[in-house]
Amino acid sequence: MTRSPSNQNVDVEFIRLLFTDPVEEQIAHRWASRFASLVGPQVLQLRPESTLAEMIEWAAAAEVDSMDFALVFEPELRMGLAEFLDYAEHATFREMVQHYASLFGG
């Protein structure tokens, strides 16, 4: 069963400062908020250059169910998430955000 640090209400507004494009900022904030509900204060280490592998490690340390982790990104990325998982050691949070933002012409 997943531990739930969601009661900690970690503020992830900081992530907005790290993305200058408004669409990317909105996506990054949405995903960071979802991720914070799973990993709690660990999310404060999230940066644009954080790799997907690092995020997976943080989730594993918080005993997050893999399906819950996938739901941070899957509603938007859909099957694209699988592609990022294929190279999780190198895929960054910024690349994931930019990939999804590009679907809006940004």
Whether residue 55 is contained in a domain is answered as: yes
Indicate whether 13 belongs to any domain. yes
Give the percent of the chain with pLDDT over 70. Answer: 91
Tens digit of each residue's pLDDT (9 = 90 or more) over 38-53: 999 999 999 999 999 9
pTM, 2 dp: 0.90
| 2 occurs within a structural domain | no
Q: Give me the domain span that covers residue 71.
A: 9-102
Give the chain's domain count. 1
pLDDT of residue 104: 83
Is the Cβ–Cβ distance between 77 and 99 less than 8 Å?
yes
Does residue 1 sit within a domain?
no
Torsion, Cα 68 17 100 29, to 10 degrees, reads 30
What is the four-CA torsion angle of 63, 10, 67, 101, rounded to 10 degrees?
-140
